[in-house]
Amino acid sequence: MKKRNVVAYFVFICCKKLLAVSPPAVRLLLLKLRLMLTGKVYTTDREEFLKVVPTHRTASARWWQRQSCWQAKVATPERYNRLAPYIETAFAPQLSKDFTVCDLACASGDFSFLIADRVKQVEAFDLSADMIGMAKETAAKMGIKNVDFRQAAAERLQLPADRYDAFMMLGLLTYIDIPNAAAIVKNVGRSMKPQAKLIVKDSITHNTSAQYVYVKSYVAYYRTEKEYLQLFEGNGFRLLHSTYLEARKGSIAAIFEKA
Ligand SMILES: C[S@@+](CC[C@H](N)C(=O)[O-])C[C@H]1O[C@@H](n2cnc3c(N)ncnc32)[C@H](O)[C@@H]1O
């Protein structure tokens, strides 16, 4: 290992230890310092996070809007390869040719395309207009006509009540902070027919409390597994099945039924 890497690792460990034992005011100072020097903040304290990253509410939206392409197959093929088999085995068998399905936070449409030929219609939404543009181009190239892509922010989207026979929300809640997440889950539930199935996938933490992450304007919330599942179970869903998508258990996928 290079000497510089050893020093950086040593500094990182020292900061981590100091952050764990310091009083709040010192922690805040250390976090600000770390943000200034590295552009990165990790904390389990939401209030602290809001103080250090004051623009966090819009930062996440801006970060995603700047991404011109987010194709799971291309950008992170291993991620696609982990999730696609779960969709195929746990979700797709419950779909039917007369189904209308919603894909909220569809990005460039990889998972909408995966299920398109098993259902009547997919309605797919994403915050990023560029990604929606790319998804439309891909659909045209592939000759897929039953996926309707639209740009929309999940927080402001008024989904029609009782419309969807099944629902996909993959990798969205990782980017939605506490106040908005429950409202989105309720909105999703309202838009689904009774007993309809919802598939979700997100990053989680195995710390004792949620981890707030800011890396060079990328904002994410890694909830604990309990908090994450509670978000659905406390808002009208019943857990049918869940699985970790990777060996280190940082990523969870689950199937819920509308109660
Ligand atoms: C990690 S990607 C997941 C994409 C896709 N569902 C998948 O699993 O491959 C997160 C997606 O959420 C979208 N997104 C982030 N915040 C959003 C919001 N507030 N409303 C709608 N979409 C959002 C991003 O534009 C991005 O396409």
12-45 pLDDT per residue, tens: 677 667 667 678 888 888 888 888 888 899 999 8
Which among 69, 113, 127 is the best mutation to test ligand 1's pocket, defined by most ligand atoms within 8 Å of the CB? 127
The 3 state secondary structure assigned to 110-174 is HHHHHHHCCCCEEEEEECCHHHHHHHHHHHHHHCCCCEEEEECCCCCCCCCCCCEEEEEEECCHH
Distances in Å between the alpha carbon of 52 and those of 30, 66, 222, 223? 10, 22, 17, 19
Ligand 1 neighbourhood includes 72 CB (under 6 angstroms): yes
Ligand 1 neighbourhood includes 170 CB (under 6 angstroms): yes
Say if residue 7's pLDDT is above 80: no
Q: Which atom of ligand 1 is nearest to the CA of 60?
A: 16
Residue nearest to atom 4 of ligand 1 (CA): 107
Q: How far is the CA of 153 from the centre of ligand 1 (A)?
A: 9
Q: What percent of the chain has pLDDT over 70?
A: 93
At 62 the pLDDT is: 76
> Residues 76-87: what's their mean pLDDT?
90
At 35 the pLDDT is: 87
Please report the DSSP string for 51-111 in residue order: HHSTTHHHHHHHHHHH-S---HHHH-HHHHHHHHHHIIIIIGGG--TT-EEEEET-TTSHH
* Tokens coding 47: 């209030």
Say if residue 69's pLDDT is above 90: no
At 194 the pLDDT is: 97
Say if residue 1's pLDDT is above 70: no
CA nearest neighbour of 200 among 41, 83, 44:
83
At 139 the pLDDT is: 97
Q: How far is the CA of 113 from the centre of ligand 1 (A)?
A: 16
Q: pTM (2 decimals)?
A: 0.90
d(CA 256, CA 240): 5
Which is more confident, 218 or 139? 139
> Mean pLDDT of all residues in the chain?
90
Band (142; pLDDT cuts 50, 70, 90): very high
* Fold (CATH) for 62-258: Rossmann fold (3.40.50)
Which is more confident, 126 or 57? 126
Ligand 1 neighbourhood includes 128 CB (under 6 angstroms): yes
Q: How far is the CA of 169 from the centre of ligand 1 (A)?
A: 9
Ligand 1 neighbourhood includes 184 CB (under 6 angstroms): no
Say if residue 135's pLDDT is above 90: yes
Residue ranges of the domains in the chain? 3-57, 62-258
> Residues 51-75: what's their mean pLDDT?
74
Ligand 1 neighbourhood includes 154 CB (under 6 angstroms): yes
At 172 the pLDDT is: 96
Q: How far is the CA of 70 from the centre of ligand 1 (A)?
A: 9
Convert the pLDDT of each residue in 185-231 to its tens digit.
Answer: 999 999 999 999 999 999 999 999 999 999 888 889 999 999 999 99
